[in-house]
Amino acid sequence: MIVGALALAAGGAAALYGALEQNNSLFGPVTGRGPRDRRLYLTFDDGPNGETTPLILETLARHEVPATFFMVGAHARRFPDVARAVAAGGHSIGNHTETHIKLHLRGPMRIAHELSAGHASIAATTGIEPRVFRAPHGYRNPFVMREARRRNYDVFGWTLGVWDTDRPGAETIRRRVRAGLQPGAILLLHDGDGYDPEGDRLQTAEALPGIIADVRSAGYTLAPLSQLCVA
30, 167, 183 from 122: Cα distances, Å: 22, 27, 31
Q: Which residue, 39 or 137, has its beta carbon nearer to Zn ion?
A: 137
Q: Which residue, 101 or 220, has its beta carbon nearer to Zn ion?
A: 101
Q: Which residue, 24 or 95, has its beta carbon nearer to Zn ion?
A: 95
Spatial contact of 21 and 138, defined as CB atoms under 8 Å apart:
yes
Q: How far apart are the first and last CA of the chain?
A: 43
Q: Least distance from C-beta 216 to Zn ion, angstroms?
A: 27
Spatial contact of 84 and 122, defined as CB atoms under 8 Å apart:
no
Which of the residues 46, 190, 191, 193 is marked catalytic? 190
Q: How many residues does the chain have?
A: 231
Q: Least distance from C-beta 43 to Zn ion, angstroms?
A: 11
Q: Which residue, 174 or 190, has its beta carbon nearer to Zn ion?
A: 190
Spatial contact of 70 and 45, defined as CB atoms under 8 Å apart:
yes
Q: Which residue, 139 or 209, has its beta carbon nearer to Zn ion?
A: 139
Spatial contact of 177 and 141, defined as CB atoms under 8 Å apart:
no
Active-site annotation holds for 190: yes
Q: Least distance from C-beta 91 to Zn ion, angstroms?
A: 17
Which of the residues 45, 46, 154, 193 is marked catalytic? 45
What DSSP assignment string belongs to 88-150? Answer: HTT-EEEE--SS----TT--HHHHHHHHHHHHHHHHHHHS----EE--GGG---HHHHHHHHH
Active-site annotation holds for 75: no
Q: Least distance from C-beta 219 to Zn ion, angstroms?
A: 30
In 3D space, the residue among 48, 42, 25, 51 whose CA is nearest the CA of residue 148 turns out to be 25
Q: Least distance from C-beta 46 to Zn ion, angstroms?
A: 4
CA dist 38 and 54 (Å) reads: 28
Three-state DSSP state, 214 = helix
Footprint of Zn ion (CB under 5 A): 45-46, 136, 194
Which residues carry out catalysis? Answer: 45, 190
